[in-house]
Amino acid sequence: MSFSRLVALSFAALLPLATTVRAEEAPRPIRLNQTGVEARGPKRAMLASPSLQPLGWALLDAKGAVALTGKTRVFGDDAASGEHVHQIDFTAFAKPGNGYRLKVGDAESRPFAVRAKPDGKLSRAALSFFYQQRASVPIEARFVERPDLARPAGHAPDKATCFDKADERGQVWPGCAYTLDASGGWYDAGDQGKYAVNGGVSVWTLVNAYERAALRKRSAALKAIGDGALALPERNNRVPDILDEARYELAFLLAMQVPEGQTLPVPVGHQQPVDGKLVLTPINASGMAHQKIADDQWTPVPTAPADDHQTRYLYYPTTAATLNLAAVAAQAARVWKTLDPTFSARCLSAARRAYAAAARNPDIYAIGAFAGSGGYGDPNLTDEFYWAAAELYATTGEASYETALRASPLFLASPVTGPRPTGDISWGSVGALGTATLALAPNGLKTAEIAQARNGLIASADRYLAEGASQGYAPPYAANGYPWGSNAAILNRAVILGLAYDFSVKPRYRAGAVDALDYVLGRNPLDQSFVSGFGARAMRNPHHRFWAHQANPAYPAPPSGVLSGGPNSTSMDDPVASPMRGRCRPQTCWTDDYRAFTQNEVAINWNAPLAWVSLFIDDTARQVSPR
């Protein structure tokens, strides 16, 4: 039965859900994390005020009694928000309770909680996102928070052959002689494509959250992601739930590997199309990974996965996709070695094949112009080669991978250190993942080299803290413009801050990660929580083909725990963002509208660092002093 028919039958039952949604609260002048603050952790709020002098503030308890007083710190003019900002630090207060309010003159915050311990709700919700993005299986009502979020399976099975017609530039692609069953995996974002490069960084982040907890013997974190902790079909199978979820995507990535003995014509090297045409060269593609499986044309919003009847294609294999497979399959071989030796061996074999294929074909880039999917083009693959070599070396200890590591200009580099820094973590910048693995996982590098890797990550964290201190709202991020997916950029920095805390046990790094999470949960100039279901003013209308209640009331609103891409002042190409170009400050270039795909789309590689950071904050809440 199609989703459209399903909702026609059940829409009457869903009407109460649609009509009882509360009106969104108006913005408040005092902004802080809308889910509450930690009793023992750092606690800051922000106020936009023209005053050049510090202002008196009071913290009131639920009965209106004064619990603490102080003076604001005048930060001053803040370029990112366009406001004159005052900062309120009430870290000294540590009494748990509900209904606290901050008051500065006539300005007052909404009531908030001071939490004695984490409740884990954000971590679980952020991880549930991945189950609800699964392809090829039905999303069952028993595993989601509301009945309307259940849906029939989409793309079951998800079998395709290679794209074999003209692309948007008129380039004719010859196709291939095989079909792959690429069922499973996660839909990438608001569309229903599945992409190897975005899948790679997302899997690494979730598996690293587990590996960090296991290697550092973090019992609270292991319990939070352990067997039975999450609402999944695989629960109670004696495997940590976070790994069950990651494996669902890993299985898809493994299925995207080109079979042995296949020759494919592909564009080799950096090419500038002449009259729309690329030069295609036959290569031995055995062991490479296809860039993506996706629709021939974009589907409209809304379109439930089961109602997506577009022809699906495999798009030609690329070196970046192949190295992503090599890296995460090697990581998986290490982590599943005792949990499932057979799966571990399969992953290691695939990783070796992929790395060898990428070494044989080092310069096949994603440059095709295909209509129904994102490109994910990456012109520099130095970081992917380094990351894959790091994962394979950490898993095998073999000399060939160590040689490749040491030859890389990114050897032991961190986001801001080394002769050639890696840059911040993103799908197109994965060098820091290699250094993070070498700093964390047992391997054969010299003790001094492992220390160098750790110190580089700490130095990057110091830079992030300095940038946070330069910002009125204090996210650990400073930029002239906010890019597409800025919330994930900030949270990926918080991953580095979390690792720096682990390696140094200095509270300031954890406090910087708290700043990042506070920002996305409401401590920003829009007084907006960018995470659905969390906060008085939570994101409601993502760009998504199924969570599309704003576009069509027959479709559901998003589940809790979904992260919006966030403010975007640099790529403003959708119908909502375009009129804002040049008229908004970087942190305010955002609208809660499903049409604003440059500002309000969701994606697996954005929710992954949200889950990592939330798990880290929960795990370390019991052991730190405020700063």
- Could you give the residue numbers annotated as active site? 592, 601
Q: Let me know: does 385 contact 364? Beta carbons within 8 Å.
A: no
Query: What would the two tokens of residue 186 be?
Result: 């996660």
Radius of gyration in angstroms for the set of CA atoms belonging to the chain, rounded to a whole number: 24
CA–CA–CA angle 451, 455, 459 (5° rounding): 175
What is the rounded distance in angstroms from the CA atom of residue 479 to the CA atom of residue 276? 35
DSSP state of 143: G
159-161 and 107-108 beta bridge pairing: unpaired
CA–CA–CA angle 399, 401, 402 (5° rounding): 60
Q: At what angle do helices 431-440 and 196-215 cross, to 10 degrees?
A: 20
83-89 and 73-78 beta bridge pairing: antiparallel
Query: What would the two tokens of residue 305 be?
Result: 């996965």
Question: What is the three-class DSSP state of 434?
Answer: helix
What is the rounded distance in angstroms from the CA atom of residue 325 to the CA atom of residue 288? 9
Q: Let me know: does 408 contact 389? Beta carbons within 8 Å.
A: yes
Q: Let me know: does 161 contact 179? Beta carbons within 8 Å.
A: yes
CA–CA–CA angle 172, 175, 180 (5° rounding): 150
- For residue 455, what is the enclosing H or E element? helix 447-469
What is the rounded distance in angstroms from the CA atom of residue 291 to the CA atom of residue 381? 14
- For residue 280, what is the enclosing H or E element? strand 280-284
Q: Let me know: does 511 contact 42? Beta carbons within 8 Å.
A: yes
Which conformational region is residue 591 in: left (phi greater than 0), alpha (psi within -120 to 50 degrees), or beta?
Answer: beta
Nearest CA among 375, 251, 414, 432 for reference residue 325: 251
What is the rounded distance in angstroms from the CA atom of residue 581 to the CA atom of residue 594? 18
Q: Supply the DSSP string of 373-428, one letter for each residue.
A: S-----S--HHHHHHHHHHHHHHH--HHHHHHHHHSTTTT--SS-SSS---S-BTT
Q: Let me know: does 425 contact 492? Beta carbons within 8 Å.
A: yes
Backbone CA torsion sign across 561, 564, 565, 566? negative
Contacts of 475 (CB under 8 A, 6+ apart): 468, 490, 515, 516, 519, 524
DSSP state of 253: H
Dihedral of CA atoms 200, 203, 205, 211 in degrees, nearest 10, equals -130
Query: What would the two tokens of residue 342 be?
Result: 């057979």
Range 96-101, long-range pairs (CB < 8 A, 24+ positions): 96/39, 97/61, 97/62, 98/62, 99/61, 99/62, 100/59, 100/60, 100/61, 100/62, 100/67, 101/59, 101/60
Query: Helices in 139-224 by DSSP H: which ranges?
Result: 196-215, 219-224
